[in-house]
Amino acid sequence: MIKHIVLMKMNGGTNEKVVARMQDYATQIREQIGEVQSYEIIPNVAAGNKGFNWAIVSKFANEVDIESYKVAPLHREFVSYCDPFTEDFLTLDYVMPGV
């Protein structure tokens, strides 16, 4: 099992409407991309977040499933939607021990 985390530094144009649309995409991704085992978009409330104020936390069975997700048309559409609001991002993938 692999946990896939994307920390995003969202700019000042990220309002409630944008966040609601991001959550809509998250729902669609959970429902339509079979490789996705879990998928959440959450605010990063850590005091030392260095401006990385949003996170996507997802789970996949293996690296092949992550790569399949990355090229899925719905994921590409979601990334295109987020691009104007995203100043920077950082990705972390890790194998969950014992899973």
Q: In the chain, what are the domain boundaries?
A: 2-95
- Give pLDDT tens digits for 1-30: 999 999 999 998 899 999 999 999 999 999
Contacting residues for 68 by C-beta, under 8 A, at least 6 apart: 35
Q: SS3 for 15?
A: coil
CATH number listed for the domain at residues 2-95: 3.30.70.100
* Burial state string for 37-58 with b = 16 or more CB within 10 A and e = fewer than 16: eebebeebeeeeeeebbbbbeb
Q: Give CA–CA dist 74/63, Å, rounded.
A: 18
Q: What is the pLDDT of residues 31-55, one digit of tens each?
A: 999 999 999 999 999 999 999 999 9
Side-chain-side CA neighbours of residue 44 (13 Å): 19
